[in-house]
Structure 1
Amino acid sequence: MNAAEKPFLMYVEDVHCLNQGRVLMLTGRIARGRVRKGDDVELVGFHSSPVAHVTDIDAGKLRVDEARAGMNVGLLLRGAPAGAAERGQVLATPGSIEAHGGFAADITVLPEHQGGAEVLTGGRLHFHMHAADVWGVVRLSHDTDVLRPLHQGAVTVTLERPVALEEGQSFAFRHHGRAAGSGTVTRLLR
């Protein structure tokens, strides 16, 4: 790989089992880098997953040898057991991204008429990070008691399941089933 080239990363949007579960097809949009037939990739997020081997690449009902950032593809994988993959995980160059169970972030709460509601320490919110949807508990910074609609603030979030995260990654969150705000990951926590 060229030193200037970014590692491969694809957000998994759907999973299909083929050949009685011996082959998985994971579909999604490639966010960065490239993947070639024969490459090893790692499933990251939710639970530990093995490294798998890309046996074929489907791009719009055509088989191709390589796919790049921006393409919607299906990757056929050997070496990943059925049930090892699910929507919301990422496929990546092995070792290039990790799953985290928590993070620090700066968030902005929407106006009340758009769904924004008070965010309190201990509040349980539903976080949306690309294709991943996961519940998390919020803790406000020491000097803040409440974040009201239209306010911004620093928080830490403990997720119910670890997801693949990177600093600078944006996300949205919901409160009581309604869009409530958005934020940016500022620091990764273990």
Structure 2
Amino acid sequence: MAISSPAACSSRLITSYSTPSLPLSPAAISTSTKLKALNLSSSFLPPHSFTTPSSTLPQSTRRSFTVRAARGKFERKKPHYDEIDAAPEERARGITINTATIYELMDAVDSYIPIPQRQTELPFLLAVEDVFSITGRGTVATGRVERGTVKVGETVDLVGLRETRNYTVTGVEMFQKILDEALAGDNVGLLLRGIQKADIQRGMVLAKPGSITPHTKFEAIVYVLKKEEGGRHSPFFAGYRPQFYMRTTDVTGKVTKIMNDKDEESKMVMPGDRVKIVVELIVPVACEQGMRFAIREGGKTVGAGVIQSIIE
């Protein structure tokens, strides 16, 4: 048996264990053709990874980077007052640009809008919004003082919805602070002596004795909202029974009479009309001439008015 030379055995081993050739991309095939035309070895062929474009980022990410770079190239940074205020020389001044601007704005607002004056000279009146019972102390009625002043130890009338009674104010508190008196515009709680929680409710008023009385019938000028304004879609007639929202109470009343601008009796009121009506309430309410109210129906406001005169 013929024995092959060591060189021949090595050549056969290399040929039998050589790695299989991978398919080349069109770019690699074109490059291989050019190299063969130049009589170059295949060892000069570039690897497959260099002839095929690859990217670890998706197309959408590359597009967003491109757009962001384009924006950053032409975008102009806006000046920020905080950066100016942070400068050491500006801090040494004590008043920054932002602070000075706010001061100028508030001065302009104060000079343009007049400060409302508190009606402290008028008789005291507070519309009751809520009632609390404090164990060991008594009953507290909360609300906003509409006018006048009240001091600890003074007597006030409880008016509306029931028979009028008077009680003594034994404490005044506002935002967890004990006060000696409450002024018009204050939201306070008044501690009353000798009254139970069941004897007072929302809708009543606390007032200076004899300054206001309850009534059930009055004459008023009202405006009925249109459909486009969120009001009624149809007219109403005499006998209409809506709710009248007066201060903090909601009382049912009956429209007994309707009159036009010439004080001539009318039969119906159309949405958008401004008329004069006579109202009878089912319970007495503390009201007076010039007091405003809202007309409500089904939980929404359908009109507004002002009392012209008290009938009874």
* TM > 0.5: yes
Partner of residue 163, structure 2: 48
Flag the structure with larger Rg. Answer: 2
8 Å CA contact 1:17–1:25 kept in 2: the answer is yes
The answer as to 2:225 corresponding to 1:98 is no
* TM-score, normalised relative to structure 1: 0.93
Equivalence for 1:187: 309
Task: Find the counterpart in structure 2 of residue 143 from structure 1.
Answer: 265
Give the corresponding residue for 2:151: 36
C-alpha contact (below 8 Å) 1:121/1:146 kept by paired residues = yes
Equivalent residue pairs, number: 186
Corresponding residue of 1:75? 190
Mapped partners of 2:299, 2:235: distance in 1: 14
Q: Give unmatched runs, 5+ long, in structure 2.
A: 1-119
1:61 maps onto 2:183 in alignment? no
**Contact 1:51–1:80 (CA under 8 A) maintained in structure 2:** no
Name the Cα RMSD after superposition: 1.5
Tell me if 1:13 matches 2:124: no
Please name the residue that 2:283 is paired with. 161
1:174 equivalenced with 2:267 (yes/no)? no
Alpha-carbon separation, structure 2, partners of 1:185 and 1:119: 20
The whole-number CA distance in structure 1 between the counterparts of 2:309 and 2:195 is 30
SS in 1 for 2:199: coil
5+ unaligned residues in a row in structure 1: which ranges?
none
Task: Give the distance between the partners of 1:50 and 1:130, measured in 2 at CA.
Answer: 19
Q: For residues 134 and 182 of structure 1, what CA distance do their matches in structure 2 show?
A: 14
C-alpha distance in structure 2 between counterparts of 1:65 and 1:178, whole Å:
40
Q: 1:84: which partner in 2?
A: 199
2:141 pairs with 1:26: yes
d(CA) in 2 for partners of 1:68, 1:120 = 43
More helix by share: 2
Q: Decide whether the 8 Å contact of 2:155 with 2:166 is kept in 1.
A: yes
1:51/1:79 contact within 8 Å kept: no
Q: Residues 153-187 of structure 1, C-alpha deviation per residue, up to 9 Å, x if partnerless?
A: 11010001111001001100112332110000011
Partners of 1:24 and 1:103 in 2: CA distance: 32
Normalised to the residue count of structure 2, the TM-score between the two structures is 0.57
Which of 109, 113, 118 aligns to 2:235? It is 118
Q: State whether residues 131 and 197 of structure 2, in contact with CA within 8 Å, keep that contact through their aligned partners in structure 1.
A: no
Offset, 1:23: 1.6
- Cα displacement string for residues 64-123 of structure 1 (whole angstroms, at most 9, x for unaligned residues): 001100000000000223311110110000110001011110010001231234231001
- Aligned AA (1:149): P
With 112-121 and 85-94 compared, the bigger mean Cα shift is at: 112-121
SS at match of 1:48: strand
Moved over 3 A (4+): none
Specify the SS of the correspondent of 1:83.
Answer: helix
Task: State the shift of 1:49 in Å.
Answer: 3.5
Q: Return the letter of the residue paired with 1:156.
A: V
Structure scoring higher RCO (CA < 8 A, sep ≥ 6) equals 1
Decide whether the 8 Å contact of 1:50 with 1:80 is kept in 2: no
